[in-house]
């Protein structure tokens, strides 16, 4: 056993470089560092050969030298690039060392960001996150590095180790002025001191425009840089301290539960200029879209748009702000001078400010903005500190801005008093050109909604109105919270032609029913495809196709379908028709052809995450397909009735598996099925054939041959086909 010669201490030591300025354009600078640990010589040789083949330089010095046969073999590796092509994420400019049992992935020391040197190799070495005394005893020692792309234009050119303290890298703490022994605390081990050389690089030669689609490693943006494109891999995207950068149509949307990163990390004070439309979401559920460190200030301006969301927003698992801090990660100051901003926080975090369990700095929103929409979702405030995070600094909102409650009760909309005037809408979606969510395109009684929506606009139907949907397409994905169509009261929709209506975001229904006590009636001869959120059900969670959204926080009214060919698709916890994360009223189907598909945790028709009223299927053809029950009126302890009348044409209920029910009324609800209905059950599908299906065969004008097979048109068949077959006056369903 190796003995520890002193008690391990928590030490943060600065490595100062031995300066050897070199000015040649051919100079190589260190861009990446890495530690490799191996338990055997053969494993060591294999790993080092592998990394040499990938372009790494191996410093040929075992950092556990003299520690005994049981200790790991540990080597430091690095990569270099030239003055012109090595600026993708900055050059390594120095190192820190930390001892003790607390070694986070990043450190903030006097306002400078330091990152733990990456590590690979044996399982024990990886578990210990690159401990330089791995399997040797002694103090816990972890190496950190810092990088820069701005001043002082001096970076590391090479790294080496020896036993000489003279010229070695000094450290503070109790080690004196002669450097820090990397074998500290291991009895009988060799003394190892770290050294590195530096040179001068030329900031003027660095590229100033970066395409996220093309980068292959972490990127730190410097002063004057612009960035565009879509991030393909979860790299760390940062803004250097003091830098002003331009975001030009960027997309950072790469959720990864194993990589704790914000979408963009400000390393200090930063200014972002917005150009085009930009979407930035935290990569990890604990991290914000844009992280502003405590004590620093982020200023946002420009004439573009920014959608900044907590990591994990679409799954409602986030615990961070859209702009500011993360889980137990306090935020600095945020100044929004201009631009269009939509920020979404999650998990008891505000949209703008500190994260969950974390404080926030000062927040200033100036009169030059076009729009700021801050949605705290289930946070306490849309702007401020996270719940349990203590205080927020001063919140300053210009007196020259309108301030109104948003679609969600935890959201606010801020916009200038003076906004461009626009003529009253006539129902033609093609004329809606202004990308401005505070304009509500409201259809009034007698109007026809037609055309294609191609701008961010909330579409409403006024209380008491009867409107036509005629070849309308509402399929504009945006980042404010809104159904495709919102009914403000009792509404009747008449279908003509082919219509498509999707929720604007992943947790809003295609068509949201009016408040509790109101009724949405759908009729006509046209078709309607309506869906919660986006085309991908994995991006849609708590809303129904027709009914309620995640954000109602209460109840919506009743749904009556009298005609039309309707396909309604809900999110993961939303019914095709009915409830989502909110309560829905009665559902009545009197006619038409209805195909209702619920998410993996919801029925085709009825109660989603929460309950609905009575379900009455009185006519028409209905296909209800659920991830759980086919048709369900029972949820969260509330049970309602299901009634299926003789006059239906057909009802097909498909459940997710045999674990679930075809018709779920709970313990106290009543299931009533007409006595004249034919029942057929096959695996997880239950088919009801009613008297409304007029086959023209029950009372033939001429005698039919016994056992003969006919279709619904009265044509004789040689064998049964898929669908309804008539044999001896009886309807038989074949799947």
Domain boundary among 170, 203, 236: 203
- Of 70, 184, 478, 538, residue with least CA distance to 306: 478
**Same-domain check for residues 143 and 279:** no
What number is the average pLDDT over the span 173-178? 47
Cα dihedral 209→214→220→221 (10° resolution): 20
The confidence score (pLDDT) of residue 83 equals 56
Asked if residue 357 lies in contact with residue 389, where contact means CB atoms within 8 angstroms, the answer is yes
506/528 same-domain check: yes
With pLDDT > 70 as the criterion, what percentage of the chain qualifies?
Answer: 77
Most confident of 283-297, 311-325, 385-399: 283-297
Predicted confidence (pLDDT) at residue 101 exceeds the cutoff of 80: yes
CATH number of the domain that 136 lies in?
Answer: 2.100.10.50
Average pLDDT over residues 260-272: 94
- When pLDDT is averaged across residues 515-543 and rounded to a whole number, the result is 79
Report the alpha-carbon distance of residue 281 to residue 279 in Å, rounded: 7
Distance CA 336, CA 321 (A): 15
* Residue 441 within a domain: no
SS3 49: helix
Residues 159, 188 within the same domain = yes
Check: CB of residue 491 under 8 Å from CB of residue 465. yes
**Residue 126 pLDDT > 70, yes or no?**
yes
CA separation for the pair 174, 169 (Å, rounded): 14
Q: Which of 451, 443, 483 is nearest to 467 (CA)?
A: 443
Q: Are residues 334 and 365 in the same domain?
A: yes
Please state whether 51 falls in left (phi above 0), alpha (psi between -120 and 50) or beta. alpha
Contact 510, 530 (CB under 8 A): yes
For 87-129, strand residue ranges (E) read 91-99, 106-109, 112-116, 119-121
Inform me whether the pLDDT recorded for 1 exceeds 60.
no
Q: Both tokens of residue 494?
A: 């008449």
Q: How does pLDDT run across 647-692, given as a tens digit for each residue?
A: 999 999 999 999 999 999 887 888 999 988 999 998 999 999 998 7
For residue 509, the 8-state DSSP code is: -
pLDDT digits (tens, 9 = 90+) for 220-256: 888 889 999 999 999 999 998 899 999 999 999 888 8
Q: Among 564, 589, 590, 591, which residue's Cα sits nearest to residue 578?
A: 589
Residue 696 confidence (pLDDT):
42
User: What is the reported pLDDT for 624?
Assistant: 96
Candidates 436, 403, 400; CA nearest to 418 is 400
Q: pTM for this one?
A: 0.59
Bridge partners of 605? Answer: 577, 631
Same domain, 642 and 592: yes
Q: What is the pLDDT of residue 5?
A: 32
Average pLDDT over all residues of the chain:
81
Please state which of the ranges 68-72, 126-130, 474-478, 728-732 shows the lowest mean pLDDT.
728-732
Rounded distance, CA 326 to CA 351, Å?
11
Separation CA 134–CA 38 (nearest Å): 10
pLDDT digits over 389-441, tens only? 557 888 888 888 877 655 444 667 777 766 555 567 889 988 876 544 445 68
Average pLDDT over residues 164-193: 65
At 442-498, the pLDDT tens digits run: 899 999 999 998 776 778 999 999 999 999 999 876 555 578 899 999 999 999 999
Q: What does the alpha-carbon distance between residue 542 and residue 641 come to, in Å, rounded to a whole number?
A: 23
Neighbours of 107 (CB within 10 A): 17
Within 13 Å and on the Cβ side, how many CA atoms surround 164?
A: 4
* pLDDT reading at 15 higher than 50: no
Average pLDDT of 29-50?
92
Q: What is the mean pLDDT of residues 119-127?
A: 91
- Note whether 295 and 260 are within 8 A (CB): no
444 within domain boundaries:
no
Is residue 196 domain-shared with residue 265, that is, in the same domain? Answer: no
Residue 84's pLDDT band, with cuts at 50, 70 and 90, is very low
Comparing 15 with 335, which gets the higher pLDDT?
Answer: 335
Same-domain pairing of 703 and 735:
yes
Higher pLDDT, 360 or 440: 360
Residues 498 and 594 in one domain: yes
Predicted confidence at residue 313, as pLDDT, reads 67
Has residue 338 been placed in a domain?
yes
**Is the residue at 339 inside a domain?**
yes
On whether residue 582 sits in a domain, the answer given is yes
**Is 622 or 102 the better-scoring residue by pLDDT?**
622
| 590 and 617 inside one domain | yes
d(C-alpha 84, C-alpha 735), whole Å: 67
Domain span at 253 = 208-416
> How many Cβ atoms are within 10 Å of 462's Cβ, its own excluded?
15
How sure is the predictor about 119, in pLDDT bands with cuts at 50, 70 and 90? Answer: very high
- Where is the domain boundary, 362, 393, 416? 416
**What is the structure's pLDDT at 389?**
52
Mean pLDDT in residue range 558-562: 96
Structure tokens at 366: 């100036």
Of the pLDDT bands very low, low, confident and very high (cuts 50, 70, 90), residue 582 is confident
Structure tokens at 600: 């993996």
Does 114 share its domain with 186?
A: yes
Residue predicted with more confidence, 560 or 89? 560
Domain termination residue (choose one: 203, 237, 260): 203
- Tokens 């004590």 belong to residue: 295
Verify that 233 and 304 share a domain, yes or no. Answer: yes
Rg (CA), the chain: 33
What is the spatial distance between Cα 398 and Cα 382, in angstroms, rounded to a whole number? 16
3-state SS assignment for residue 715:
coil
Residue with tokens 């991290």, as numbered in its chain:
287
CA–CA dist 447, 445 (Å, integer)? 6
Evaluate whether residue 373 is within a structural domain: yes
In a domain, 581, yes or no: yes
Q: How confident is the model at residue 16 (pLDDT cuts 50, 70, 90)?
A: very low
| pLDDT value of residue 477 | 61
CA neighbor of 51 nearest in space, from 131, 125, 128, 119: 119
User: What's the number of domains the chain is made of?
Assistant: 4
462 and 336 belong to one structural domain: no
Task: For Cα atoms 258, 260, 264, give the angle at the middle one, nearest 5 degrees.
Answer: 135
Q: Specify if 571 maps to a domain.
A: yes
Considering 333-347, 392-406, 433-447, 705-719, the range whose residues carry the highest mean pLDDT is 333-347
Q: In this model, does residue 85 exceed pLDDT 50?
A: no
**Residue 386 pLDDT class (50, 70, 90 cuts):** low
Asked if residues 563 and 535 have their Cβ atoms less than 8 Å apart, the reply is no
DSSP 8-state symbol, 378: T
């Amino acid at each position: 056993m190796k003995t520890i010669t002193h008690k391990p201490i928590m030490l943060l030591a600065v490595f100062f470089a031995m300066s050897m300025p070199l000015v040649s354009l051919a100079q190589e600078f260190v861009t990446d560092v890495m530690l490799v640990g191996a338990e055997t010589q053969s494993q060591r040789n294999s790993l080092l050969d592998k990394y040499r083949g990938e372009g790494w330089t191996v410093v040929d010095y075992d950092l556990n030298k003299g520690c005994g046969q049981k200790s790991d073999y540990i080597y430091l590796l690095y990569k270099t690039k030239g003055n012109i092509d090595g600026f993708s994420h900055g050059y390594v400019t120095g190192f820190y060392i930390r001892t003790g049992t607390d070694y986070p992935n990043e450190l903030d020391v006097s306002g400078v960001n330091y990152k733990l040197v990456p590590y690979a190799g044996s399982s024990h070495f990886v578990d210990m996150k690159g401990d330089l005394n791995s399997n040797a005893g002694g103090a816990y020692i972890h190496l950190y590095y810092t990088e820069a792309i701005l001043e002082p234009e001096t970076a590391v050119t090479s790294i080496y180790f020896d036993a000489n303290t003279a010229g070695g890298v000094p450290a503070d703490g109790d080690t004196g002025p002669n450097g820090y022994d990397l074998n500290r605390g291991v009895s009988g081990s060799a003394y190892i001191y770290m050294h590195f050389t530096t040179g001068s690089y030329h900031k003027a030669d660095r590229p100033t425009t970066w395409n996220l689609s093309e980068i292959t490693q972490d990127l730190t943006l410097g002063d004057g840089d612009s960035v565009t494109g879509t991030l393909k891999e979860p790299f760390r995207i940062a803004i250097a301290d003091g830098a002003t950068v331009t975001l030009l149509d960027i997309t950072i949307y790469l959720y990864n539960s194993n990589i704790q990163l914000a979408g963009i990390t400000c390393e200090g004070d930063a200014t972002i200029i917005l150009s085009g439309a930009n979407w930035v979401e935290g990569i990890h559920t604990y991290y914000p879209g844009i992280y502003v460190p405590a004590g620093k200030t982020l200023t946002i301006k420009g004439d573009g748009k920014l959608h900044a969301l907590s990591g994990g927003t679409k799954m409602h698992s986030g615990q961070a702000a859209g702009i500011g801090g993360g889980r137990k990660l306090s935020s600095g100051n945020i100044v929004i001078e201009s631009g269009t901003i939509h920020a979404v926080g999650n998990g008891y975090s505000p949209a703008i400010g500190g994260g969950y369990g974390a404080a926030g700095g000062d927040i200033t929103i100036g009169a030059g903005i076009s729009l700021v929409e801050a949605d705290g979702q289930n946070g306490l405030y849309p702007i401020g500190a996270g719940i349990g995070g203590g205080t927020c600094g001063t919140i300053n909102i210009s007196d020259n801005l309108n301030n109104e409650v948003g679609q969600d009760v935890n959201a606010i909309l801020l916009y200038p008093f003076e906004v461009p005037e626009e003529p009253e809408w006539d129902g033609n979606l093609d004329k809606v050109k202004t990308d401005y969510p505070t304009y509500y395109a409201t259809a009034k009684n007698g109007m026809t909604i037609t055309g294609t929506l191609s701008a961010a606009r909330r579409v409403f139907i006024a209380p008491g109105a009867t409107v036509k949907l005629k070849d309308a397409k509402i399929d504009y994905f945006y980042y404010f919270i809104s159904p495709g169509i919102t009914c403000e009261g009792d509404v009747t929709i008449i279908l003509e032609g082919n219509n498509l209506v999707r929720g604007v975001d992943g947790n809003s229904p295609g068509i949201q029913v009016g408040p509790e006590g109101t009724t949405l009636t759908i009729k006509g001869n046209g078709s309607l495809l309506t869906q919660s959120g986006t085309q991908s059900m994995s991006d849609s969670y708590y809303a129904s196709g027709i009914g309620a959204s995640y954000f109602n926080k209460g109840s919506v009214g009743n749904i009556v379908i009298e005609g039309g060919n309707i396909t309604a698709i809900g999110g993961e916890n939303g019914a095709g028709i009915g409830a989502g994360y909110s309560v829905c009223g009665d559902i009545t189907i009197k006619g038409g052809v209805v195909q209702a598909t619920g998410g993996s945790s919801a029925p085709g028709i009825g109660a989603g995450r929460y309950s609905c009223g009575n379900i009455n299927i009185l006519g028409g053809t209905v296909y209800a397909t659920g991830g759980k029950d086919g048709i369900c009126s029972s949820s969260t302890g509330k049970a309602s009735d299901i009634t299926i009348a003789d006059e239906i044409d057909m009802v097909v209920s498909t459940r997710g598996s045999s674990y679930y029910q075809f018709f779920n009324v709970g313990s106290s609800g009543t299931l009533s099925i007409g006595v004249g209905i034919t029942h057929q059950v096959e695996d997880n599908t239950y088919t009801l054939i009613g008297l409304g299906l007029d086959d023209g065969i029950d009372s033939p004008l001429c005698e039919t041959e016994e056992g003969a097979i006919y279709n619904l048109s009265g044509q004789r068949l040689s064998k049964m086909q898929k669908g309804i077959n008539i044999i001896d006056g009886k309807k038989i369903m074949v799947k």
